[in-house]
């Protein structure tokens, strides 16, 4: 089946009003296909500002993280209602940097995913293995364990986009080959089909999230289970438009 091509831009802890204005204006004036969904995820203080600048219907704004409570004494956290109030339609959860630097485990990520979906935003759910796990040959075991935690909490995956991000490729300049990515994505879809049913699994978009850039994005074009990209550093640069247009 045809799944809408999806490109997420994770700005991480980067940006200013000036740079975000430049990025959004570049998207506003670029030629972007109508059959692509673009989600830019600036740091939380700039969500409202970025959302106010976006003029293309294919482009929406997402947050990089949320908490699993609506409000209360949780200093430093952002609630789903607050990011929605600032114009966010999506949130990235389970990113490898949240898992490693901030010690978020599978259970917490699953609970946050369930809460965010229940509050009405889409979730870009990140999964992936480290270099040590890749060398040990346990990539599929790792990603299946990460998926299992969410499967235990969420039965309806309509508003989840899965981002496979090989941790060893993020920011390293390394990237899985299109063939490797396709093989792993196909295995992920097969696993989801076992758990959710084939029809549901066929509708889930699976993104590649390991150092995608303007040059290598087009090499994934013909891979049937690579439904888009979650882009890091390249989302801050003009080449982000090339990634968005890599299917045309």
Centroid of chain to Cα 245: 18
**pLDDT one-digit tens code per residue, 194-204:** 999 999 999 99
The contacts of residue 5 (CB under 8 Å, 6+ apart) are 33, 35, 36, 37, 227, 228, 247
**pLDDT one-digit tens code per residue, 40-87:** 999 999 999 999 999 999 999 999 999 999 999 999 999 999 999 999
- pLDDT reported for residue 237: 97
- Which residues belong to the active site? 95, 165
Look up residue 5 and give its two tokens: 């091509």
**pLDDT one-digit tens code per residue, 3-20:** 999 999 999 999 999 999
Q: Which helix (H) or strand (E) holds 25?
A: helix 17-29
**pLDDT one-digit tens code per residue, 107-146:** 999 999 999 999 999 999 999 998 889 889 999 999 999 9
The contacts of residue 43 (CB under 8 Å, 6+ apart) are 11, 12, 13, 14, 15, 64
Task: Give the pLDDT band of residue 211 (cuts 50, 70, 90).
Answer: confident
Domain residue limits, the chain: 5-244
Query: Helix, strand, coil % (nearest 5) of the chain?
Result: 45, 15, 40
Task: Give the pLDDT band of residue 168 (cuts 50, 70, 90).
Answer: confident
- pLDDT reported for residue 1: 56
CB 170 within 8 A of CB 211: yes
For the domain made up of 5-244, the CATH class stated in words is: alpha beta
Question: How far apart (Å, rounded) are the C-alpha atoms in residues 147 and 130?
Answer: 16
């Amino acid at each position: 089946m045809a799944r809408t091509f999806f490109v997420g831009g994770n700005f991480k802890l980067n940006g200013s009003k000036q740079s975000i204005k430049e990025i959004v204006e570049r998207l506003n004036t670029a030629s972007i296909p109508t059959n692509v969904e673009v989600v830019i995820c600036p740091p939380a203080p700039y969500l409202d500002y970025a959302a106010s600048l976006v003029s293309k219907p294919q482009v929406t704004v997402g947050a990089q993280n949320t908490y699993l409570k609506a409000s209360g004494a949780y200093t430093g956290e952002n609630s789903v209602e607050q990011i929605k109030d600032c114009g966010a339609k999506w949130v990235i959860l389970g990113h490898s940097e949240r898992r490693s630097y901030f010690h978020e485990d599978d259970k917490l990520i699953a609970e946050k995913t369930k809460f965010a979906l229940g509050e009405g935003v889409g979730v870009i759910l990140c999964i992936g293995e480290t270099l040590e796990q890749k060398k040990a040959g346990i990539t599929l075991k790792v990603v299946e364990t990460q998926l299992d935690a969410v499967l235990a909490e969420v039965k309806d995956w309509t508003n989840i986009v899965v981002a496979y991000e090989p941790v060893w490729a993020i920011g390293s300049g390394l990237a899985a080959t299109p063939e490797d990515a396709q093989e792993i994505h196909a295995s992920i879809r097969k696993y989801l089909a076992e758990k959710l049913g084939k029809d549901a699994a066929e509708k889930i978009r699976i993104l590649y999230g390991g150092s995608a850039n303007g040059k290598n994005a087009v090499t994934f074009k013909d891979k049937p289970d690579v439904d888009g990209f979650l882009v890091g550093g390249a989302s801050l640069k003009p080449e982000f438009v090339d990634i968005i247009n890599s299917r045309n």
